[in-house]
Amino acid sequence: MAISENALKPATIASLAPFLAIGVVAVLLPFVGNDYWAVIGTRAAIYWVLVAGLNLIVGFAGQLAIGYVALLTVGAYVTSILAAGTVLPPVPLPLCFAAAAGVGALFGVLVGLPALRLRTFYFAISTLGFATIVTQIALAWRSVTGGGVGLAGPEFPPPFNTAWGFYGLCLGAASFATWISANIAHSRFGRALVAVRDADVAAEANGISKAILLIPIFLLGGAMAAVAGGLFATLQTYITPDAFTFDLSIMFFIAILIGGRGSILGPMIGTIVLTILPEAAAPLASWSTFLYAALLLVIVLAVPGGIADLIDFKNRRAITEERMIVPKPALLPQLFAHRPTPAALTLNGVVLAFGGVRALDGVDIVVRPGEVHGLIGPNGSGKTTALNVISGYYAPQEGEARIGGDPLPAGRPELRAGLGIARTFQRPRLVAAETVLENVMIGGTISGRAGFLATLLSLPGRGRDERELEARATRALQAVGLEALAGVKAGRLQHGEQRFVEIARALMLAPAILMLDEPAAGLSSDEIRRLGELIAEIAKQGVGVLLVEHHADFIFEICRHVTVLDQGRVLAAGTPAEIRSHREVVDAYLGR
């Protein structure tokens, strides 16, 4: 593993320690165990090659792929058929595995594609359907697969043809699988996966396209599963379709669930435990499915976060109670060094009705670069809906939104970040299970340079991206006054603090337009004052700020222009002084 500056931090060493411990046990196993243990160890290593890839799909991206045994089957048959030379002339082993990885990657995407359209449950069923189809084809296509009789698995040359030799090879494969999955997990891709899982709307607003993100993950997961399949065929020495049971699929899935979502160590321990468990309970072999299910129930009920949560001691420490948000607006110019060209945001005659309710009824708004534009109005007057139209979540029935004269395509919210439009949400949308710093880094996803392959193999670009993102996120956190909480899981923060984390995340884009949806809700009066200073300073960087608020005084103090909405219509628009003296506004809203 390349030693970066990162690897020398005590926190990094602490997080590597459990992996080293497992590695030491694995390396010592041949010196203390017999051939029986060689088989179990080999099996655990092979399963992990599959689970490490599947973990990115299930544990990180939250996609319920439960029929993954199908890809193990595909890999086992492709390698065995090519190595046996019954259909084509015999192919050298490395090529057999390369072919299996290729076919597995292809099938990985085919199985995964429905996830882009189907809701979780239906996707889970579609992966199961695929598993059934693969088994049926293996049974029926006798001339190639040997049907129910099966065929011999590939044989490795010395020194890998002994029990411990093959164990060593599989251990190497498992280590490599761990390394590449960790490279992805600890990168903008890994953080984006978790964002898609836990905060998909915010992920889109930060420029993350679920489809573009998931396709390389499905390719990788499929390739890793198929390679595991080839090794599995060698371990079995002979494969038949009934070696690839539904139980196995469930086992992979449960290993990830009991391991804990968004962790690598947890599912690794889960895989090892679930491989050994049926052996330890050999007399109970016929009960193994029952045991898996029971174990799953216990974990889900007692420790919903899985093993990863059990061993996460750091996040059980109390966070300091005496904490105040003190932004440092002076740091903002550093964040806006590479700003998109300033551009005005306009809404022209936007109409949007939900059934009978006209949430927006001909709304015109212009937000100019460098000015704070207040959007006020009673509850339900259409403020959030206006932001959602700009974000692209809704297509207006009439009128349009534009930035710098270009229309904003509706239905493509993931394009907004690239156009320099950032936002926060009325109800904060953070990844509760990730640290504050990681949440802010999600905001910089689209500025990463290293591609998927470079990240997978930890080429220098990945390290550069990570250092750059971390430095910028740290600066953004300092600017909003939350740097003391950088290492705390976002779910443990108070609502007011979460709003500031969202502002920091939005600042990562160095946006031309920043939309804030009721950022002052739940703040103390001191904090509101400081928030006002921060927003004013953001506008000074040339950013057009569209500020939705309830607190009228707060708005009047920092806005240059104010638009008042009432039942989807613009009741009044003008300077704070004009609004303050607008009779209808005073009667209907300000109530003074």
- Is there a contact between 184 and 190 (Cβ–Cβ < 8 Å)? yes
Buried b (16+ CB within 10 A) or exposed e, 344-364: bbbbbebbbeeeeebbbbebe
Q: How far is the CB of 357 from ligand ADP (least distance, A)?
A: 5
Rounded to whole angstroms, the maximal C-alpha distance in the chain is 91
Residue 229 interaction partner, one of ligand ADP, Mg ion, none, beta carbon < 5-8 Å per kind: none
- # binding residues, ligand ADP (CB under 6 A): 11
Instruction: Extract the tokens encoding 121.
Output: 């449950």
Q: Which residues, 6+ apart, have CB-to-CB distance to 356 below 8 Å?
A: none
Q: Please say whether the beta carbons of 389 and 334 come within 8 A.
A: no
Residue 354 interacting with ligand ADP (CB under 6 A):
yes
- Residue 61 CA to its chain's centroid (Å): 5
Question: CA 230 → CA 48, 66, 85, 226, 325, distances in Å?
Answer: 13, 20, 15, 6, 55
Tell me how long the chain is.
592
Q: Which of 178, 206, 384, 455 binds Mg ion (CB under 5 A)?
A: 384
Q: Judging by beta carbons within 10 Å of its beta carbon (0-12, 13-18, 19+), is residue 279 exposed, middle or buried? A: middle
Please, which residue, 219 or 386, has the CB nearer to ligand ADP? 386
Closer by beta carbon to Mg ion, 375 or else 573: 375
Choose from ligand ADP, Mg ion, none: what does 385 bind? Cβ within 5-8 Å by kind: ligand ADP
Q: Under the criterion CB under 6 A, does residue 520 sit at the interface with ligand ADP? A: no
477: left (phi over 0), alpha (psi -120 to 50) or beta: alpha
- Could you say whether residue 356 binds ligand ADP (CB under 6 A)? no
Q: Should residue 273 be labelled a site residue for ligand ADP when binding is judged by CB under 6 A?
A: no
Stretch that binds ligand ADP, among 249-257, 353-361, 449-457, 529-537 (CB under 6 A): 353-361
In the block, tokens 């090529």 appear at 95
**Binding residues for Mg ion, how many (CB under 5 A)?**
3
- C-alpha span between 584 and 452 (Å, rounded): 56
The Cα 201–Cα 196 span in angstroms is 8
Q: Which stretch binds ligand ADP (CB under 6 A): 312-320, 379-387, 503-511, 536-544?
A: 379-387
The partner in contact with residue 286, picked from ligand ADP, Mg ion, none with C-beta cut-offs of 5 to 8 angstroms by kind, is none
Q: Does 53 bind ligand ADP (CB under 6 A)?
A: no
Q: Is 383 in the site for ligand ADP (CB under 6 A)?
A: yes
Cα–Cα distance for residue pair 115/127, rounded to 1 Å: 9
What does the DSSP 8-state code read for residue 489? B
Sole binder of ligand ADP in the list 62, 342, 380, 461 (CB under 6 A): 380
Of 214, 343, 359, 573, the one binding ligand ADP by CB under 6 A: 359
What is the distance between the alpha carbons of residues 207 and 141, in angstroms, rounded to a whole number?
45
Residue 441: Cβ within 10 Å count: 27
Identify whether 159 is preceded by a cis peptide bond (ω within 30 of 0).
yes
Per CB under 6 A, does 384 bind ligand ADP?
Answer: yes
Nearest approach in angstroms of CB 201 to ligand ADP is 12
At its nearest, how many Å lie between ligand ADP and the CB of residue 554? Answer: 16
Q: Does 379 bind ligand ADP (CB under 6 A)?
A: yes
Residues 408-437 interacting with Mg ion (rule: CB under 5 A)? 426
CB of residue 423 to Mg ion, shortest distance in Å: 12
The reply on whether position 377 binds ligand ADP by CB under 6 A is: yes
Question: Which listed range, 97-105, 252-260, 316-324, 375-383, lies at the site for Mg ion (CB under 5 A)?
Answer: 375-383
Smallest separation (angstroms) from ligand ADP to the CB of 394: 8
Q: Is 563 in the site for ligand ADP (CB under 6 A)?
A: no
- 362 scored as a contact of ligand ADP (CB under 6 A): no
List the one residue out of 192, 196, 224 whose CA is nearest residue 53: 224
Partner residues linked to 435 by β-bridges: 489
Q: Give the residue carrying structure tokens 């029935």.
A: 397
391 binds ligand ADP (CB under 6 A): no
Closest CB 419 distance from ligand ADP, rounded Å: 22
Does 381 engage in binding with Mg ion (CB under 5 A)? Answer: no
Q: Which residues bind Mg ion (CB under 5 A)?
A: 383-384, 426
Q: Which residues bind ligand ADP (CB under 6 A)?
A: 354, 357, 359, 377, 379-385
